[in-house]
Structures are given as structure tokens and as C-alpha cells.
């Protein structure tokens, strides 16, 4: 039956600690990056517009989003949504985040394969995240093994999504740094500082993915797909 299991913390605990550490690192990297002004004096929104212009991307808008760190590119609406700190900010962090999000818009315009695959998997992954725990719980209650396996399969969709998301995120950051430098929007030393912010952000994705993989392995172990026994109590 489902209940408290110390093995869960053995499997998933290290990933959770890594995720907490990554969250802390990204917060402090963002905060220190916000304290470094950029010589060009542009805002995040202005930098984003300059990059879009340089790539002749005319169908993508830029607007201010609500909430802290709510920065994202919406491929359906063709809209870059930047948090207030990034939209109006004139710092290393604002530049890094704005350029990263434009990186996603460029991926979209170029039909970058991992992004196309990722967007295709989004509906499946959201079904998986809604159904997996329910299926495992009911399966364990009714002692219906196939339902548990189905639940674990549904959870693996989330892991697949996260694995495909990693190259998408790394690519957006690499593009951002290269473009900022190439367009003369930052100096080489500023580009290094941008890199610190973006690398810290990338770590949070890596930590979340590791946590999900370990959770999947835990379920597979707990329900006897690997190692242990499905009847252990």
C-alpha cells in the first residue's frame, strides 16, 4: 500500500537537496547580476527588440508579465513575456533573461527540432502528470498491477518531457550569449557575467530532471519493475 516509505527519501532526497541548492544559487546569481549595470544602458525589453530586429523576426511581440521570474516565450501567442525586473531592468540579469527568452523565439522561427518535439509532448506530459499518481494510487489500493504499471508509464512522460527540455534550454542560453556578444550589446566581460546568471538558471532544470528521474526509478523499484518485490510491505 501507499504510505510513508523511508526508501523514497533515499532515492529522491539527494535530487531534492540539489534542487534546493540550485534554487538558492539562481536567486543569488540573479540578485548579484541585477546589481551590475550594463554599459549600453538599454532595458531588457529594448535588448529583446534589438535581437528580434537583427533576426528579422517581425511577428513576435514583447509585453510585461505579472509576478517575479514569470519570464517566458509563448509560441502560440508569439509573445515574449518579461517580468518587470527584466522588462525595465538595465542590468546583467535583465539582459541575460531577455536574450534567453528571445533565444526561444529564434528556435521557434527556425523550427529548432528539440523545441518542436518538446511542444508536441507538452499535452502528453500534462496528461501524464495529472493521471500518474491517481493510477498508481488506485492500482495499489485495488492491488491491480497493470494499473500501477500504467501510472508509472504516465509518470515517465514527464521525465521524457524534461529530458527533451534540457537541450532546448541550454541552446536558448548559448544563443543568447553568442547573439549579445555578436550584436555588440555586451562587452566580453559582461558576456561572462551573463553566463553566470544563465548557467545558474540551467542548473535548476538539471536538478528538477534528476529529481524526476530518481522518482521514476523509485516507483519502478517500489512496485517491483526493477530490483525489490512488488509484494514487499
**What would the grid cell of residue 143 be?**
492491488
Q: How far is the CB of 92 from Zn ion (least distance, A)?
A: 17
Nearer CB in complex with Zn ion: 158/172: 172
Q: How far is the CB of 140 from Zn ion (least distance, A)?
A: 36
Count of positions (residues) in the chain? 233
Q: How far is the CB of 227 from Zn ion (least distance, A)?
A: 36
- Between the CA of residue 82 and those of 35, 71, 213, what are the distances in Å? 18, 5, 30
Site pattern 57..96 for Zn ion (x: CB under 5 A): ----------------------------------------
Task: Using alpha carbons, select from 228, 231, 204 the residue that is nearest to residue 7.
Answer: 228
Nearer CB in complex with Zn ion: 169/193: 169
Nearer CB in complex with Zn ion: 12/51: 51
Known active-site residue 101: yes
Pick the catalytic residue: 63, 64, 85, 101?
101
Site pattern 151..180 for Zn ion (x: CB under 5 A): ------------------x--x--------
**What would the grid cell of residue 139 be?**
492500482
Nearer CB in complex with Zn ion: 69/138: 69
**Could you count the other beta carbons within 10 Å of the beta carbon of residue 222?**
22
State the chain's maximal CA–CA distance in angstroms. Answer: 65
Which residues in 101-160 contact Zn ion (CB under 5 A)?
none
Task: Report how many helices (DSSP H) and strands (DSSP E) the chain contains, helices first.
Answer: 7, 3
Size, binding site for Zn ion by CB under 5 A: 2
CA 26 to CA 33: how far, in whole Å? 10
Q: Is the CB of residue 230 less than 8 Å from the CB of residue 176?
A: no
Q: Which residues are catalytic?
A: 101
Q: Which residues of the chain form contacts with Zn ion (CB under 5 A)?
A: 169, 172
Amino acid at each position: 500500500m501507499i504510505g510513508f516509505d523511508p526508501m523514497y527519501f533515499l532515492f529522491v532526497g539527494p535530487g531534492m537537496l540539489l534542487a534546493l541548492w540550485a534554487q538558492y544559487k539562481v536567486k543569488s546569481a540573479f540578485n548579484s547580476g541585477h546589481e551590475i549595470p550594463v554599459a549600453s544602458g538599454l532595458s531588457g525589453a529594448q535588448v529583446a527588440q534589438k535581437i528580434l530586429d537583427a533576426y528579422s523576426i517581425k511577428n513576435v511581440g514583447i509585453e510585461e508579465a505579472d509576478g517575479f521570474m514569470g519570464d517566458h516565450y509563448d509560441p502560440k501567442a508569439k509573445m515574449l513575456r518579461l517580468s518587470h525586473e527584466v522588462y525595465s531592468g538595465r542590468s546583467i540579469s535583465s539582459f541575460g533573461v531577455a536574450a534567453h527568452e528571445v533565444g526561444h523565439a529564434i528556435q521557434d522561427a527556425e523550427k529548432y527540432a528539440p523545441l518542436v518535439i518538446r511542444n508536441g509532448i507538452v499535452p502528453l506530459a500534462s496528461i501524464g502528470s495529472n493521471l500518474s499518481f491517481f493510477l498508481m494510487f488506485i492500482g495499489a489500493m485495488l492491488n491491480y498491477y497493470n494499473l500501477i504499471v500504467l501510472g508509472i508509464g504516465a509518470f515517465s512522460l514527464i521525465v521524457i518531457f524534461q529530458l527533451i527540455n534540457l537541450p532546448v534550454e541550454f541552446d536558448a542560453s548559448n544563443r543568447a550569449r553568442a547573439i549579445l556578444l555578436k550584436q555588440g550589446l555586451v562587452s566580453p566581460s559582461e558576456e561572462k557575467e551573463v553566463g553566470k546568471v544563465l548557467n545558474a538558471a540551467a542548473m535548476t532544470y538539471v536538478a528538477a530532471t534528476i529529481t524526476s528521474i530518481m522518482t521514476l526509478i523509485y516507483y519502478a523499484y517500489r512496485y517491483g519493475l526493477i530490483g525489490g518485490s512488488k509484494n514487499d510491505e
